[in-house]
């Protein structure tokens, strides 16, 4: 392993023990980022979902499967990307046997920014892609409207790009809107590949 890969592994260990906010209490485990420590592109989502919380890996549930399909269509190899989340623990509300996703609040995002900053400092990606408003807000330090600001954006020193979160596509009730938005998402990822 390279020294940076070693440092990323050590960071994952630290994230596993995170107690920076109360979200660790109800979650199964923390979900750190995954991917090569020298990845040129980092993708940042919101927080692990139900499947990710159980697996301990980012983007393995329904949103992750949609992301995988879109990445492949855009010519991006998931194995060469670093995938992580703005918040490392699953926030949910129990409803019967189900665990319903809850959006992390500003304080939780802020507490977890500590880890995201450290992932960015180690991996030093050429481009950081925010999937959705929570990631874009965490990375830019202000509220971001994905509809209005979709596309290139700088995150401090880093070159960034804002696009939708794959869960947004899953929630669209209308089949034709879903297909259209999926095409736009693939087109954004195609731009990311060329940036
Ligand atoms: N949604 C996210 O934002 N991240 C994941 O890892 C899974 C779903």
For the Cβ of 58 lying below 6 angstroms from any atom of ligand 1, the answer is: yes
For residue 149, the model assigns a pLDDT of 98
Distance CA 48, CA 51 (A): 8
Residue 195 has pLDDT above 90, yes or no: no
- pLDDT one-digit tens code per residue, 181-192: 999 999 999 999
Angle, CA of 82, 125 and 181, to the nearest 5°? 60
pTM, whole model, 2 decimals?
0.97
For the Cβ of 53 lying below 6 angstroms from any atom of ligand 1, the answer is: no
| pLDDT band, very low/low/confident/very high, at 159 (cuts 50, 70, 90) | very high
For the Cβ of 138 lying below 6 angstroms from any atom of ligand 1, the answer is: no
Q: Ligand 1 pocket test: which of 33, 50, 59 has the largest number of ligand atoms within 8 Å of its C-beta?
A: 59
Cα(37) to centroid(ligand 1), Å: 20
User: Quick one: average pLDDT of 145-153?
Assistant: 98
User: What are 128's strand-pairing partners?
Assistant: 42, 160
Residue 62 and residue 48 in contact, taking contact as beta carbons nearer than 8 Å: no
| pLDDT band, very low/low/confident/very high, at 167 (cuts 50, 70, 90) | very high
Residue 115 has pLDDT above 90, yes or no: yes
For residue 176, the model assigns a pLDDT of 97
Residue 1 has pLDDT above 90, yes or no: no
Cα(3) to centroid(ligand 1), Å: 28
In the predicted model, what is the mean pLDDT of the chain?
97
Q: What is the DSSP letter of 193?
A: H
Cα(181) to centroid(ligand 1), Å: 18
Residue 97 has pLDDT above 90, yes or no: yes
Give the C-alpha distances (Å, rounded to integers) separating 171 from 46, 62, 63, 92, 177.
15, 11, 10, 17, 11
Q: Ligand 1 pocket test: which of 28, 54, 61 has the largest number of ligand atoms within 8 Å of its C-beta?
A: 61
Cα(46) to centroid(ligand 1), Å: 6
Residue 46 and residue 104 in contact, taking contact as beta carbons nearer than 8 Å: yes
Q: Could you identify the residue written with the tokens 């880093």?
A: 158
Cα(83) to centroid(ligand 1), Å: 9
Could you tell me what percent of the chain has a pLDDT over 90? 98
Atom of ligand 1 nearest to the CA of 59: 6
Alpha helices (runs of H) in the chain, residue ranges in sequence order: 3-16, 50-55, 62-73, 106-123, 133-140, 146-149, 166-171, 175-194
For residue 102, the model assigns a pLDDT of 97
- pLDDT one-digit tens code per residue, 20-62: 999 999 999 999 999 999 999 999 999 999 999 999 999 999 9
Residue 110 and residue 139 in contact, taking contact as beta carbons nearer than 8 Å: no
Supply φ then ψ for residue 104, to 5 degrees: -70, 145
Region of 124 on the Ramachandran plot (φ > 0 left; ψ -120 to 50 alpha; else beta): left
For the Cβ of 52 lying below 6 angstroms from any atom of ligand 1, the answer is: yes
For residue 138, the model assigns a pLDDT of 98
User: Quick one: average pLDDT of 145-169?
Assistant: 97
Angle, CA of 179, 92 and 135, to the nearest 5°? 55
For the Cβ of 34 lying below 6 angstroms from any atom of ligand 1, the answer is: no
For residue 143, the model assigns a pLDDT of 97
């Amino acid at each position: 392993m390279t020294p940076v890969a070693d440092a990323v592994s050590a960071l994952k260990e630290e994230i596993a023990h995170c107690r920076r906010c109360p979200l660790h209490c109800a979650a199964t485990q923390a979900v750190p980022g995954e991917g090569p420590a020298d990845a040129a592109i980092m993708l940042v989502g919101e927080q692990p979902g139900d499947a990710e919380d159980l697996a301990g890996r980012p983007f393995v549930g329904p949103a992750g499967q949609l992301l995988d399909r879109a990445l492949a269509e855009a010519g991006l190899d998931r194995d060469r990307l670093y995938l992580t989340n703005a918040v490392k623990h699953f926030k949910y509300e129990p409803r019967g046997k189900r665990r319903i996703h809850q959006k992390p609040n500003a304080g939780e995002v802020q507490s977890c920014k500590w880890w995201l900053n450290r992932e960015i400092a180690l991996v030093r990606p050429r481009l950081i892609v925010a999937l959705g408003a929570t990631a874009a807000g965490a990375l830019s330090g202000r509220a971001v409207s994905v509809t209005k600001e979709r596309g290139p954006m700088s995150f401090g020193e880093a070159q960034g790009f804002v696009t939708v979160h794959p869960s947004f596509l899953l929630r669209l009730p209308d089949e034709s809107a879903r297909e259209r938005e999926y095409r736009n998402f693939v087109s954004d990822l195609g731009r990311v590949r060329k940036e």
